[in-house]
Structure 1
Amino acid sequence: MKKAFIILLTLALWTNDALLAKDYDLVSPDGAVKLTIAINDNITYSVLVDGKPIMDASTLSMTVGSGTVLGQNPQVIKENKRSVNQKLYPELRVKSQEIQDNFNELELVFKGRYSVTFRAYNNGVAYRFETSHKKELIVRSERAEINFSGNNNVYFPRESEFFSHNERLYEYNSLDTLSEKDLCSLPTLVESSDKIKLLVTETGLLDYPGMWLTGATGNTLQAVFPQAGLEEKVDHKRWTDDRSIRISKEADYIAKTEGARSFPWRIVCIAKNDADLITNQLTYQLAEPSRIKDPSWIKPGKVAWDWWNYNNIYGVDFEAGVNTDTYKYYIDFASKYGIEYIILDEGWYVLGDVLNIVPEVDVKELMRYGAEKNVGIVLWVTWSSLDQKLQEALDTFKAWGAKGLKVDFMQRDDQWMVNYYERIASECAKRELIVDFHGSYKPSGLRRTYPNVLTREGVKGAENNKWASYITPQHNLTLPFIRMVAGPMDYTPGAMINAQEENFRISWNRPMSMGTRCHQLAMYAIFESPLQMLCDNPSNYLREDESTAFLAQFPTVWDDIKVLEAKIGDYVALARRSGDSWYLGAMTDEKARTIAIDLSFLEGGNYNIEIFQDGVNAERYAQDYKRVVKNITNKDVISASLANGGGWAAIITKK
């Protein structure tokens, strides 16, 4: 009798567990991507592409309160499905004037006042937690595990700690060689054995710390998060007191937040070919919609930058430097070429006090002069100095007539700092100021929520040429496929002094770029940044009038994009449309190559094309180029010959 009772009890418990266990399938609109969510002791998900496994069971959970694990022994009480096929019209059209937003969604509501929403797109999968607690919620940790199927390689942006500018080179490693000691920032790109690319990132990051990744056992990446800070201190070993502020005492949680909220989306973008990475817009599609009611005042454009070139202007009758005469010269230059902005970078105020202007700079006169010449002024500030006088400073900048801010040296993405970004975006929007975040983490959706955030750094860009030799053409050919997928990047192109690797030299005061002149020009078509820098000095641009007049024509936001050829780290060729004109760019790594530019994407009719191509001696003298103007139709295929480290750029206008 006793034995029979035990058997029946065991059978009942097993039956109950079996009833609780269930798989849910979610398929992309085109049927190619299949997401399977398994509910057992934990919540796991796996992914197939065209019937082939690319991700094995990957566990997700969140530990809250005094140790409750959302996702442990889960009990589904409701499921909600929906399919959406709509068009989004970005206020700031970085890649295109409209986005086809097409996905299938499954929301699983669990006992314990939480849910997990999954989405399957044709080009990726995503999920996020949602909670409906009445009181404040303490999040102790979050588990976000990604188990990749088979043998994989990874483009790994290695980090040493959470205190970082997130400016990284991409190490190409076998994924299974990484351990929990190997830390990286996002986005991270994994290449499957059959060459499918899987880019991991996040979006909708608000009131929560940023996600980072480490290796783990096997072909696995797992999420880690910076702890919330209780105390801060200045790191006197790095820079000055206004810019190197670390967390010195950590909390035992990663976030204190509202109990009823949606958490950030965890995304795996899926690309069957490399070109699909460049056109992926999931970080925008999944971000929170705009909170700016009337964005009509937001003006993207190009900006003449002073810091990179060390204000080394010449052929003038005044001493160059951080002074009024020099910046008037920048304004005159910008006005001549129709460049929308100049920036006053470090040096215009006494460090530590953003309202204490150095005597050599008459900011009000520069604002007046810029307005007269139709050139706006962007002001650089360190984040901590701005924060000390935030309301007063922003009101003052607005009263002066400033058009925006470049906020620098945050170097963190703990919860407080993430909230700081949102606070700056919101306060600047109230005063109709655009924002460029430097010393920043990767784009994570804020550009949709506050479209006045035009661009941000978080990229190892051209400024590194001043002190290092690793900004190579090959590095430049990784960025469109990894970092740029997350959002616009303030790489700062436009160098007029160009050199091949063998004659490149490091110079803080007179920097140069590695690769050809046309490699730099092509960046204005290929690299996305609605606030796009011209990094060199006006004297060099005036001396190189032909190149400058050409690049000055390039818009910084686009109506459409066509990727013509693409291979990560090797080459890319694409065309972007603005209005009725097309702007084309092609770049190669250290290998010379010829790329066929097929113009069949054009409508019928006759066109004019203006081409800047590598000169016959560009492999020896990187500044050598040739300008070609001719007539074309959509039946033409142009053979673009690129030197090693070379480029090719063109503008097509209808006749």
Structure 2
Amino acid sequence: MHLRSIAPLAAALALTVVTPVFAQEPPAVTSPDGRLRMTFTLKQGKEAREGTGALVYSVTFKGKSVLNESALGLDLDPGPMLGADVRVAGAEPSSGVDDYSLRNTKTSKVHDPYNAVVVHSVEAAGIHRKLDVEARAYNSGIAFRYLLPAQEGLSDLKLKSEGTEFRFAEDDTAWVLALPNYRSSYESEYVRLNLSALSNQGGVSSNFLIGTPVLLHQPGVAWLSLMEADLETNSSMYLTNPSGNWAGHLLSVKLSPRWDDQQYAVLGTLPHHSAWRVLGVADEPGSLVESNLLTDLNPPSRVTDTSWIHGGKASWNWWVDNVSKTGHSAFTTEVMKEYIDFSAANGLSYFMLDAGWSKSGDITQLNGKVDVPELVRYGATKNVKVWIWLYSTSVMKQMQEAFPLYEKWGVAGLKIDFVNRDDQQGIQFYYDVAKLAAEHHIMVDFHGCHTPWGLLRTYPNVLSYEAVLGLENNKVGRRDSPVDRTAFASTRLMAGPMDFTAGAFDNATEDKFVARNEAPMAMGTRAQQLALYVIYETPFPMLSDSPQNYTNQPGFQFLKDVPVEWDETRVLSSTPGEEAVIARRHGDEWYLGAMTNWQARTLQVPLSFLGNGRYTAQTYEDAQDAATEPKHLNISSRQVSGKEALSLRLAPGGGAAIRFKKEK
């Protein structure tokens, strides 16, 4: 059963006998495999009336506590925190299976069974407001959300904040994305700190504003993730540790405030449901990346005909500053045609035309330097389609006029940049763009944006997101390094598609790297850049370097061969900030990517994921001298089977990329 709105729920309750609670035991929900359990109770204060109290929940994994009693509640205007003093009126258990297909992502088919419960509570005093909590337990995690049914005395929704807590049983190690405010691009390092360090630094009270996803480790118990799903009509969730002391092992929810009235996070009418709060739980961090919880918890596709939606690799003019085949920079229609020629010659589906083609502030007018309709026409003769860059503020003002125009021109997709907001209106912008773009057969890649939340299931024309400290940072500084890349494979990647814009072929050691805008280079080996096309999930990857830097270069063949969508994903090894090994299947072929931080290491990789049969392994790995000559590759081919293991020797900042072709 998919509870997508309050109205279907109300109809169902009219025919359902609601289970009375606390007659025998508190309401709870357990995962199908029995390992995860979420329990709801009432926490009574000193002056609580009998049968009333604060609604709280707890979570166990394999019988061990993961979350201790944690508060639930909504701070509505007017009135006190709804959930702080309630009685439980009943609980409605159910079960179901999320069974659906996906395109352009890490898996093509999903089959996730779950058990569910809706807990009904009523305020003990005042006007007796009603609050329901819907929870689901999957084998890979727990999700819950608030349901506010239509009710007497409460017609308008004025949500100031949430009272949701995550009180961890231990001082878990956390990898967190600390953000400066509610108006960022989610582009920073994931920092490793214990929960207590998030509220007490230097012996004084302090705190961080933390974006999602968050990765946590409770040694000896579980690896955990915190994310959100199905944000429509809602504001985005941030987290903070408000305890102010070294004994507070918790995170609490902060909602991004509206731009027009910052005392509120969400305005609307009832009935209403919040976004899902998603707690992934697993034995290993890689299982959190494999999980499909975010798409499970989003509505099915609203795009009836998806035949026009295709992932594909793209040449790109921006990272290399519009360099032409003469070696000089020139932002002209003729030079952009050179990038289309490069795409056509190497089997790339797209060319990504970046900023500067439109007149300032008007995304329907050309600037005289680059003729987009002419580029689209030229690309059509080469079987290459064109994407164009847009500034988000201009899209907000002009999309009703611009999107039909782009469809008329024949533009394939839009890269919409500098969104930098995820308040209620900002989140609605993502949905408005996705819907209108789909109506005009246009795909979308969001940059300067919030991390994904499973929207690709509802609007499969939204192919990718940035929300990562990407390759572009090499143009101005040293923030993109192999350490961060290995961290992203266990953190940011949990949320879904990630347009890191890989593909640098001017590779440098840590000591010899120089940040520069023209002819940029990147730290780490070439083999690691190849590996990123397997490790990082995106159906719209850039080949970010210049066409000249790829011509006749070792390793370029792998970039031409590697697919952009996958039928299956296996995380074989993952240690945040240290190393990652991920295998992905496309049809009957497998691809593997491996990378390390600045520490050289040898990895033993079992090939059991291959199953039966024999394969030819085409391997691109660090050469013997890659520690000092990072462009050097060792390219080899050998026959292998699933009964074997490969030994991969990775240089500092190194990697390996392998294509497994099944023998007939």
Q: Same fold (TM over 0.5)?
A: yes
Q: Aligned to 1:505, what secondary structure does the other structure show?
A: coil
User: 2:269 aligned with 1:258, yes or no?
Assistant: yes
Q: Give the direction of change, closer, same or farther, for the CA distance of 1:68–1:580 in structure 2 (3 Å limit).
A: same
User: 2:255 aligned with 1:225, yes or no?
Assistant: yes
1:636 aligned partner: 644
Q: Aligned to 1:138, what secondary structure does the other structure show?
A: strand
Normalising by structure 2, we get a TM-score of: 0.90
Q: Please list, as runs of the form range in 1=range in 2, the aligned pairs for 1:270-309 lying within 5 A after superposition.
A: 270-309=281-320
Letter in 2 for 1:120: A
Q: Please list, as runs of the form range in 1=range in 2, the aligned pairs for 1:149-298 lying within 5 A after superposition.
A: 149-179=169-199, 181-194=207-220, 196-217=222-243, 218-230=248-260, 250-298=261-309
User: 2:516 aligned with 1:496, yes or no?
Assistant: no
Aligned mates of 2:94, 2:141 — CA distance in 1: 17
Q: Please list, as runs of the form range in 1=range in 2, the aligned pairs for 1:501-512 lying within 5 A after superposition.
A: 501-512=510-521
Aligned mates of 2:264, 2:572 — CA distance in 1: 47
1:570 aligned partner: 578
2:11 aligned partner: none
User: 2:490 aligned with 1:476, yes or no?
Assistant: no
Structure 2 unaligned segments of length 5 or more: list them. Answer: 1-20, 44-52, 123-128, 200-205
Give the conservation status (yes or no) of the 8 Å contact 1:157–1:170.
yes
How far does residue 24 in structure 1 lie from its aligned partner after superposition? 2.0
Structure 1 unaligned segments of length 5 or more: list them. Answer: 1-17, 231-249
1:624 aligned partner: 632
1:243 aligned partner: none
How far does residue 86 in structure 1 lie from its aligned partner after superposition? 4.5
Q: Give the direction of change, closer, same or farther, for the CA distance of 1:398–1:33 in structure 2 (3 Å limit).
A: same
- Residue number among 29, 35, 38 corresponding to 2:38 in the alignment: 35
Q: Please list, as runs of the form range in 1=range in 2, the aligned pairs for 1:308-327 lying within 5 A after superposition.
A: 308-315=319-326, 320-327=329-336
How far does residue 285 in structure 1 lie from its aligned partner after superposition? 1.0
Letter in 1 for 2:583: A
Q: Give the direction of change, closer, same or farther, for the CA distance of 1:603–1:152 in structure 2 (3 Å limit).
A: closer
How far does residue 594 in structure 1 lie from its aligned partner after superposition? 1.2
Q: Please list, as runs of the form range in 1=range in 2, the aligned pairs for 1:363-378 lying within 5 A after superposition.
A: 363-378=372-387
* Aligned length in residues: 615
Give the conservation status (yes or no) of the 8 Å contact 1:21–1:38.
no
Q: Aligned to 1:536, what secondary structure does the other structure show?
A: coil
1:120 aligned partner: 137
Aligned mates of 1:228, 1:644 — CA distance in 2: 45
Aligned mates of 2:241, 2:539 — CA distance in 1: 34
Q: Please list, as runs of the form range in 1=range in 2, the aligned pairs for 1:349-388 lying within 5 A after superposition.
A: 349-388=358-397
Q: Give the direction of change, closer, same or farther, for the CA distance of 1:603–1:360 in structure 2 (3 Å limit).
A: same
Could you give the per-residue CA deviations for residues 286-331 of structure 1, whole angstroms, max 9, x where no partner exists?
Answer: 1222211122211111111211111223347xx6421111111101
Aligned mates of 1:55, 1:155 — CA distance in 2: 18
Aligned mates of 2:283, 2:22 — CA distance in 1: 37
Give the conservation status (yes or no) of the 8 Å contact 2:321–2:329.
no
- Per mean C-alpha deviation after superposition, the further-off stretch among 179-188 and 364-373 is 179-188
Could you give the per-residue CA deviations for residues 154-189 of structure 1, whole angstroms, max 9, x where no partner exists?
Answer: 112111211111112011112112226311111111
Aligned mates of 1:286, 1:86 — CA distance in 2: 9
User: 2:83 aligned with 1:77, yes or no?
Assistant: no
Letter in 2 for 1:62: L
Letter in 2 for 1:304: S
Q: Give the direction of change, closer, same or farther, for the CA distance of 1:632–1:256 in structure 2 (3 Å limit).
A: same
How far does residue 605 in structure 1 lie from its aligned partner after superposition? 2.8
Q: Give the direction of change, closer, same or farther, for the CA distance of 1:607–1:525 in structure 2 (3 Å limit).
A: same
Could you give the per-residue CA deviations for residues 524-558 of structure 1, whole angstroms, max 9, x where no partner exists?
Answer: 111001111111111111242x4222211111110
Q: Aligned to 1:186, what secondary structure does the other structure show?
A: strand
Q: Please list, as runs of the form range in 1=range in 2, the aligned pairs for 1:574-653 lying within 5 A after superposition.
A: 574-653=582-661
Q: Aligned to 2:307, what secondary structure does the other structure show?
A: coil
- Per mean C-alpha deviation after superposition, the further-off stretch among 258-267 and 519-528 is 258-267
Aligned mates of 1:22, 1:432 — CA distance in 2: 53
Aligned mates of 1:138, 1:19 — CA distance in 2: 31
Q: Aligned to 1:389, what secondary structure does the other structure show?
A: helix
Aligned mates of 1:303, 1:93 — CA distance in 2: 15
Q: Please list, as runs of the form range in 1=range in 2, the aligned pairs for 1:328-407 lying within 5 A after superposition.
A: 328-407=337-416
Give the conservation status (yes or no) of the 8 Å contact 1:514–1:645.
yes
User: 2:462 aligned with 1:442, yes or no?
Assistant: no
Q: Give the direction of change, closer, same or farther, for the CA distance of 1:19–1:120 in structure 2 (3 Å limit).
A: closer
Q: Aligned to 2:212, what secondary structure does the other structure show?
A: coil
Give the conservation status (yes or no) of the 8 Å contact 2:190–2:491.
no
Give the conservation status (yes or no) of the 8 Å contact 1:265–1:286.
yes
Could you give the per-residue CA deviations for residues 82-123 of structure 1, whole angstroms, max 9, x where no partner exists?
Answer: 122342212x24111112212111111233343111111222
Could you give the per-residue CA deviations for residues 46-98 of structure 1, whole angstroms, max 9, x where no partner exists?
Answer: 111111111111101012241253313222323111122342212x2411111
Q: Please list, as runs of the form range in 1=range in 2, the aligned pairs for 1:134-145 lying within 5 A after superposition.
A: 135-145=155-165
User: 2:67 aligned with 1:55, yes or no?
Assistant: yes
Give the conservation status (yes or no) of the 8 Å contact 1:331–1:370.
yes
Give the conservation status (yes or no) of the 8 Å contact 1:84–1:103.
yes
2:29 aligned partner: 26
Normalising by structure 1, we get a TM-score of: 0.91
Aligned mates of 2:107, 2:567 — CA distance in 1: 4
How far does residue 195 in structure 1 lie from its aligned partner after superposition? 6.1
Q: Aligned to 1:391, what secondary structure does the other structure show?
A: helix
Coordinate RMSD, CA, aligned: 1.8
Letter in 2 for 1:636: E
Aligned mates of 2:406, 2:24 — CA distance in 1: 59
How far does residue 258 in structure 1 lie from its aligned partner after superposition? 3.1
Aligned mates of 1:76, 1:475 — CA distance in 2: 46
Letter in 2 for 1:183: L
- Per mean C-alpha deviation after superposition, the further-off stretch among 262-271 and 71-80 is 71-80
Q: Give the direction of change, closer, same or farther, for the CA distance of 1:288–1:86 in structure 2 (3 Å limit).
A: closer
